[in-house]
Amino acid sequence: MPSRPMNWKSVVIGLGIVVLLLVAPLFLSRFYIYFLALILVTGLLATSLNIVLGFGGMYQFHHSVFYGVGAYSVALMITKTSLPAFVGFMVAPIVSALLAVVMGLICVRLSKLYFGMLQLSLGSLVWALVFRWYSFTGGDDGIHGIPLPSIISSINTSYYFTLIVTGICLALMYAVTNSPFGRIFQAIRDNPERSESIGVNVKLHQLVGQCIAGFFAGIAGVLFVTVEGSVFPDLMFWTLSLEILIMCLLGGWFTFLGPMLGAAIMVSLRTVVGVYTEYWTMVLAIILMLLIYFLPEGVLGYFLEKIKAHGSGVLREER
Amino acid sequence: MEIAANITLSALAQQFLVGLSRTTILFIVSSGLSLVLGVLRIPNVAHGSLYMLGAFLCYSISLFFGGGSTGFWMALVLAPLCVALISLAVERGLFCHLYDREHLMLLLFTFSFMLLFKDLVKLVWGSDYRSLSAPEILQGSFSVLGMPFPRYNLFLLVLGPLVALGLWFLTNKTKIGKIARAAAVDREMVAAVGINVSWVFAAVFVIGCFLAGLGGALVAPTQNITQGMDHTLIMETFLIVIIGGLGNIWGALLGALIFGLTDSMGVLIWPQFAIVFPYVAVVIVLMFRPKGLLKATW
């Protein structure tokens, strides 16, 4: 069967990437390490969005609000309280998850576009609050120069921290999408009415999905703080939400690792094309248009479709 | 933090009028979006970029005709027409092949247009902001209960209802409007009775984009014309269209009223968090009327 060697191949490719990422700080300059860390953080964020978008079929139009809230929670915990930073690291994702539950409770009654719009307005509400609450969040300036624990304050250690946490989160999310919960979630995506009629509590599952996605987005927010050392309201502006939506689409939103690939493509494009021309968004826009025109399944989705691989569960999720 | 410290009758009246003129701009732009969403079902994120383009074009065309009053009036007519022409090319060239794609895909496709327009504007006009002054007849202000109120805003207040009436006439009394409304409900049926739906869609798309350009041209004298002026506006117009009821022109008017007035009244109540009020209003509306206040065409 052709599926066997593919499985083997993808394991080798996966291991190769992991090893490369592990040894990268030995021979790459500071800038590229930062760049890799940014890809990992953005990729984690996009993957967390894809749990509800690709696997749950929910139009999550404003996902970056959980990312921003996670980042702001940890930044505020470090700068405003005397608690150890790692407590902040633990609490921030929980704050994001709680917000996701609260927003989810309001939104899950609706579906598709209406869900997305209510989510967008609630997220914008949070953004507007953060944007204007100068005395607490620093308003549109944000918070800069957040003191990090010394163990992760150098670029290499923060990179390894990001790499390890991202790896663990990806493994956890993969487990979630392949758990019974994940299967039901996909069933809801494909046919909510039929799921409902066989006794699945659709709204509850969607709410739990929101909570999980919000939690991991919060972790991505924490990692952003460890990489960047600052937070600003753009972290939860709706344009970022659309950008990560595009990453999911670009990589392939019916695959598990697609969003990660999409994030890598977007962040690299911005950095590489940005070196040559300040008009990098135009290049991105044209690439996007071509992709939507010709590869509606996304890059990874397209290649998987071509290869028709079935063996590797990591790369391919059955639709 | 001075909460509700400066609410007087005259301040209230002034903010009310300011809110109404903001409403006019919001209504003109969001009615265009509503038309496109209601009939073509394209969530056009690039609508805000067309608004920005309208403002920049208004600036340049006005300069081309030597500035001053003539320049402005020429620009006010020509800038939305240019935007309409651009949108016609885009629709015929690209969108018309994509109508049966999923909404999410169309959303992302229009988002890539938003990125494209953003850089095109940067390429043509640079990153500096521009400003344009209103024609002399609309400069200055008159007093409302002892508070100054700009004449230009009065012009907007007159124009808003005219646009609303024009749109109502177009959708309800003309043949193309009737066909468009029918196509919004069932496009196969309309095609089956021998009407070229594709061109009706193109016309609706162009009218919608014309309104975005008109909104941009109208807003040009009242604020700095900058890159990124589309970012908050497009989200606001989307929310307006949703709370009003998708595809409903009067819904867009109602939504724009809610948005514009909560914003301007918020300035009186709690200036620091004035931008939060419209979002609170939207959330409240959507919690009780998730499909919008008025009947949606979807």
Note the pLDDT tens digit of each residue in A184-233.
999 999 888 899 899 889 999 999 999 999 999 999 999 999 998 899 99
Q: How big is the CA angle at B70 (ends B65 and B71), to the nearest 5 degrees?
A: 40
Structure confidence by residue, pLDDT tens digits, A286-316: 888 888 788 776 666 777 766 654 444 444 4
* DSSP H or E stretch at residue A165: helix A155-178
What is the distance between the alpha carbons of residues A162 and A167, in angstroms, rounded to a whole number?
8
Residue A104 placed within a domain = yes
pLDDT recorded at residue A224: 94
B259 touching chain A per CB within 8 A: no
Residue A291 placed within a domain = no
Cα torsion angle, A269, A273, A274, A278, sign: negative
B111 touching chain A per CB within 8 A: yes
B104 touching chain A per CB within 8 A: yes
Q: To probe the interface with A, which of B95, B116, B120, B267 has the most A CB atoms within 10 Å?
A: B116
- Check B283 against A125: CB less than 8 A apart: yes
**CB A66, CB A217: distance < 8 Å:** yes
Chain A residues in contact with B115 by the CB 8 A cut-off are 281-282, 284-285, 288
Residue B191 placed within a domain = yes
Chain A residues in contact with B126 by the CB 8 A cut-off are none
Report how many domains make up chain B.
1
The percent of residues in chain A predicted with pLDDT above 70, rounded, is: 91
pLDDT recorded at residue B146: 74
Radius of gyration of chain A (CA): 19
Range of the domain at B212: 26-227
pLDDT recorded at residue A4: 45
CA distance B108 to chain A (A): 7
pLDDT recorded at residue A207: 94
Chain B residues in contact with A296 by the CB 8 A cut-off are 101, 105
For A250, name the nearest residue in chain B, comparing CA atoms only: B108
What is the distance between the alpha carbons of residues A311 and A294, in angstroms, rounded to a whole number?
26
Chain B residues in contact with A265 by the CB 8 A cut-off are none
Please give chain A's pLDDT, 319 residues, in tens: 344 445 777 788 888 888 888 888 888 888 888 889 999 999 999 999 999 998 988 988 899 999 999 999 999 998 888 888 888 899 999 999 999 999 999 888 887 778 888 898 899 889 988 988 888 888 888 888 888 888 887 888 889 999 999 999 999 999 999 999 999 999 999 888 899 899 889 999 999 999 999 999 999 999 999 998 899 998 999 889 988 988 888 888 888 888 999 899 888 888 888 788 778 888 888 888 888 788 776 666 777 766 654 444 444 444 4
Partner-chain residue, chosen from A124, A133, A288, that has the shortest CB–CB distance to B279 = A124
Residue B164 placed within a domain = yes
- Check A121 against B120: CB less than 8 A apart: no
What is the distance between the alpha carbons of residues B63 and B68, in angstroms, rounded to a whole number?
8
Residue A67 placed within a domain = yes
pLDDT recorded at residue A306: 67
Partner-chain residue, chosen from A59, A121, A239, that has the shortest CB–CB distance to B283 = A121
Which spans in B6-150 are helix H? 9-35, 47-64, 68-93, 103-125
Residue B146 placed within a domain = yes
Q: Mean pLDDT in each 10-residue stretch from start to end of chain B (298 residues)?
A: 60 85 93 88 89 93 85 90 94 82 81 89 87 81 77 89 91 86 84 86 92 93 86 88 87 92 87 85 86 78
pLDDT recorded at residue A6: 55
**CB A265, CB A287: distance < 8 Å:** no
Phi/psi of residue B147, each to 5°?
-110, 140
Partner-chain residue, chosen from A242, A249, A279, that has the shortest CB–CB distance to B122 = A279
pLDDT recorded at residue A274: 79
For B232, name the nearest residue in chain A, comparing CA atoms only: A238
- Check A132 against B272: CB less than 8 A apart: yes
Largest CA distance in chain A: 64
- Going by C-alpha positions, the residue among B105, B117, B108, B215 that lies closest to residue B167 is B215
Range of the domain at A96: 17-237
Q: Extract the tokens encoding B15.
A: 């903010």
Residue A298 placed within a domain = no
Report how many domains make up chain A.
1
Torsion angle in degrees (nearest 10) through CA of B107, B26, B136, B84? 30
